[in-house]
Structure 1
Amino acid sequence: MPSPGAEQIWLWIGTALMAVGTLAFIGMGWGEEDPEAQEYYIITIFIPAIAASAYFSMAMGFGLTELSVPWASEALDIYWARYADWLFTTPLLLIDLALLAGANRNTISTLVGLDVGMIVTGLVGALVTSSQTMRIVWWGISCGFFLALLYILVSRLSAQASTQPGSVGALFSTLRNVVILLWTAYPIVWIVGTEGLGLIPLYWETAVFMVLDVLAKVGFGFLLLRSRSVLDQVSSSTADATAAD
């Protein structure tokens, strides 16, 4: 059994990897002069940068609260800074996807609204102290927002992406599938972790969340930004559409 506070090693690793990702993305976008392509780099750079700040705060012992609950013999450690991270970074990630798909403003607003609802209700569930059952109820509400978000991703957003050039559509499909796969793991970890049923200890919960965060932010960003030619193609098609209008 890991000693109390041992999970901080994972928080420091997460801080380092997010910081490296931020610097790598800055380097990948260095010298990009096209305003349309710059938009992807700016958004994607901020994703690991915000996450690095959140992980640093958690590693330093901030962004943490202890809750006394009647069903546990010890107080629960809740990293609320993790939710603050997700509240900012996940909408940015969805905006990246939506821009790649050529989504309209209504689709982007719907995605961001569902995402915020998912994160906020998940945080409420984590902070509930009345009963474990109510925590699970809030988890279910959060999952409802998530399922609606997935529906928009695989239906409306995918339909809009199908109108993009072949390489752009292929990159969107890859990134969409990465998001679906990784994001589906989050509610599973939540419900089996200390914030849900308590089947796994905080040490392993923190480790798994860190790995998921790095893959979902740095991994996603690398897949997107390494395809510079595709981003240039998106910029060209956007410029052509604007000129036609």
Structure 2
Amino acid sequence: MVAVNVHYTVGLAVMLLGTAVFVRAFVTDARNRTYHAILVGIAGIAAGAYVFMLLGIGFLTVEGNVVNLAKYGQWLLATPLLILYLGLLAGLDRGRIGLLIVLDVVVMGSGLVGELLAGPALTYGSFAVGSVAYIALIYMLTAGIREAVTDRPGAIVALFGKLRNLTLIIWTIYPVIWILSPAGLGVLEPTMQALLYTYADLIAKILFGAIALNSQTSLEQLPELDALSGFGVGPN
């Protein structure tokens, strides 16, 4: 457990640092505050989850397998914010952003359900449901919204491509870790599983935010977002 906590401590420290950087951007860049608020939420939620993990809160044993509820909780809360950021950047209407978020929640929720259910048939059945939802999510984030994205300024198209590709690459690693974990084939030890999930989290959230902040001048080419008016994007 000590070795696992080392990885959780690194995860917490980097998430807190990222949160502080994103808060600073939120405070100093009023025009793009909605984008920065999303980044704060992503990193802040993840930091809170790592606090729970370090305190040993949110672990449930099912059929000898330890289910990390804090981990799934932060995925269910933070990954929709990643989708929201991408959707706003792409100029999607709220209906399509909502559909993307629903698919994302199905993907994340299926992983949790798969760990909570007893028996390989139910576990892998849940994994299959999540896989189908993930394929649909990949399609929507690529071919499904190509027309909307290409209507954006060139710098925004480039930024969206970087963030979308990073997200899809890292998110594709998560189910591989899951299938190799004790809940799946049992190839990975809990310590290695914690290491892989933690550093994948850091890339998916903190590197995502760092790339976004590094390109924040590109956001000047977009209309200012108003969080009080449904983000001011697209038709209802």
| Deviation of 1:94 (Å) | 0.5
Q: Is the 8 A contact 1:107 1:156 kept in 2?
A: no
Task: Tell me the residue number matched to 1:17.
Answer: 14
C-alpha change, 1:157 and 1:30, in structure 2 (3 Å) is same
Task: Tell me the residue number matched to 2:106.
Answer: 117
Equivalents in 1 of 2:121, 2:190: separation in Å? 20
Gaps of 5+ in 2: 227-231
Where in structure 2 are the equivalents of 1:86-235 lying within 5 Å? Answer: 86-129=75-118, 131-235=119-223
Task: Tell me the residue number matched to 1:61.
Answer: 56
C-alpha change, 1:50 and 1:236, in structure 2 (3 Å) is closer
Q: Is the 8 A contact 2:60 2:69 kept in 1?
A: yes
Q: Please list the CA deviations of residues 137-157 of structure 1 after superposition, one character each: whole Å capped at 9, or x if unmatched.
A: 211111111111111000222
Equivalents in 1 of 2:207, 2:163: separation in Å? 10
Moved over 3 A (4+): none
Aligned-partner residue type, residue 53 of structure 2: M
Aligned-partner residue type, residue 25 of structure 1: F
Count of equivalent residues: 228
Task: Tell me the residue number matched to 2:42.
Answer: 47
Q: Is the 8 A contact 1:66 1:76 kept in 2?
A: yes
| Deviation of 1:6 (Å) | 2.6
Larger radius of gyration: 1
Q: TM-score scaled to structure 1, two decimals?
A: 0.89
C-alpha change, 1:164 and 1:17, in structure 2 (3 Å) is same
Q: Please list the CA deviations of residues 126-145 of structure 1 after superposition, one character each: whole Å capped at 9, or x if unmatched.
A: 1112x123212211111111
| Deviation of 1:159 (Å) | 2.3
| Deviation of 1:169 (Å) | 0.5
Q: Is the 8 A contact 1:26 1:45 kept in 2?
A: yes
Equivalents in 1 of 2:110, 2:130: separation in Å? 5
Equivalents in 2 of 1:158, 1:89: separation in Å? 24
Indicate the percent of aligned positions where both proteins have the same amino acid: 32
| Deviation of 1:63 (Å) | 1.3
Q: Is the 8 A contact 1:12 1:59 kept in 2?
A: yes
Equivalents in 2 of 1:128, 1:197: separation in Å? 15
Gaps of 5+ in 1: 70-74
Equivalents in 1 of 2:153, 2:125: separation in Å? 43
Equivalents in 1 of 2:39, 2:93: separation in Å? 20
Aligned-partner residue type, residue 96 of structure 2: T
RMSD: 1.8
